[in-house]
Amino acid sequence: MPARIARHWHANYSGRAGVGAGVLLVALGAALWGTDGVLRVPLLGEMSPAAIVLGEHLILLLYSVPAVALGWGALGRLGVRGWGALLVIGWGGSALATLLFTAAFAAGDPTVAILLQKTQPLFAIGAAHLVLGERLKPAYWPLFAAAIVGAYLVSFGNLSPFAALGSEAASGALLAVGAAALWGSSTALGRFVLRDVPFHALTGARLLLALAPLTVIALAQGAFGELGAGFGSQPGRLVLLALIPGLLGLLLYYRGLSSTRASHATLAELAFPATAVALNWALLGVGINAGQVVGFFLLWAAIYALGRSGDKTLQDTDLRTEER
């Protein structure tokens, strides 16, 4: 019965969003990720990054286990390449990339880490070309440039961070690029898996698969005591962190990705720094400058134009191979 329900849902609902709506749903999901900072930062006084991320995933077992059970019919039909993609998404994109990016902040200049995170679309476009056969038309690149410039301005405003790229920042830079590569590859691999698996099941599988490496890392770091302290002192904040940027953000993201080319989705994902900057300004009193305001509107204009352009920017030669 769960497999029959999942097949019915996938057949009747998973493809209804149009291309433009899909891009905007990806952007909306990514925008919710921007709430992460205002919820996560207060927890860092009592919990390590590994403890916080593990706590989120433990809360979301209430969603991930039923979602995987309902979608098991589709998940069970995945071949070796499909399950390999799921492992990269869960272990790499959900667990390891987040920890690498956090370690980049500790190992080097945070400005360098944020700057190099903006290389994520390059990895996503490369993976989309190899895995999905997406071919980009010339009309794509002006929108790509506008989105990258917009995301840069939102993050840095009038500041030039390139002077920070010195030899002393090498370790942090490598960690940040590693995180960007995993996140970018996960975008293309998520689109690949969504051809056979409904978005709600992929969301559940991603969250469930991430538990294994996160548990090992937390054990190695002795973080389980911090996990208990966090649940004891700030359970509401942990639940909100798990539900808003975690579950709701991922559900909107994968719902949009199911009808959006990976090369479009990776630029829509850049919406998250815009939300983060706006929330930091509204709730934390962090000032913004004119460059960030310009970047905010430029980024969202590029995302909107991507949604309106449809397939005018892409030539898809679908390299899909069936695995049975």
Write the DSSP string, 86-140.
HHIIIIIIIIIHHHHHHHHHHHS-HHHHHHHHTTHHHHHHHHIIIII-EEE-TTH
Q: Of 8-22, 38-52, 163-177, which range is least confident?
A: 8-22
Rounded distance, CA 249 to CA 31, Å? Answer: 8
The secondary structure of residue 60, as a DSSP letter, is T
Rounded distance, CA 230 to CA 252, Å? Answer: 27
pLDDT at 283 over 50: yes
Q: Which of 195, 254, 237 has its CA nearest to residue 47?
A: 237
| 107 against 61, higher pLDDT | 61
Query: Which of 113-117, 158-162, 212-216, 279-283 shows the highest mean pLDDT?
Result: 212-216
Sequence-distant (≥ 6) Cβ neighbours of residue 201 within 8 angstroms: 6, 67, 68, 70, 71, 72, 74, 75
pLDDT of residue 45: 80
Q: How far is CA 57 from the centre of its chain?
A: 15
Sequence-distant (≥ 6) Cβ neighbours of residue 71 within 8 angstroms: 2, 6, 197, 198, 200, 201, 202, 204, 205
Q: Of 49-53, 113-117, 195-199, which range is least confident?
A: 113-117
Q: How confident is the model at residue 194 (pLDDT cuts 50, 70, 90)?
A: very high
| 311 against 191, higher pLDDT | 191
What are the angstrom distances between the C-alpha of 186 and each of 69, 111, 164, 224? 22, 24, 28, 28
- Rounded to the nearest integer, the mean pLDDT of the chain is 81
30 within 8 A of 186, measured Cβ to Cβ = no
> What is the rounded average pLDDT of the residues 114-125?
80
Sequence-distant (≥ 6) Cβ neighbours of residue 76 within 8 angstroms: 3
pLDDT of residue 110: 61
71 within 8 A of 198, measured Cβ to Cβ = yes
Is the pTM higher than 0.85? The answer reads no
> What is the rounded average pLDDT of the residues 70-82?
94
265 within 8 A of 23, measured Cβ to Cβ = yes
- pLDDT tens digit string along 85-98? 999 999 998 888 87
- Look up tokens 């995170």; give the residue: 117
Structure tokens at 130: 């190899």
Dihedral sign (CA 69, 70, 72, 75): negative
181 within 8 A of 125, measured Cβ to Cβ = no
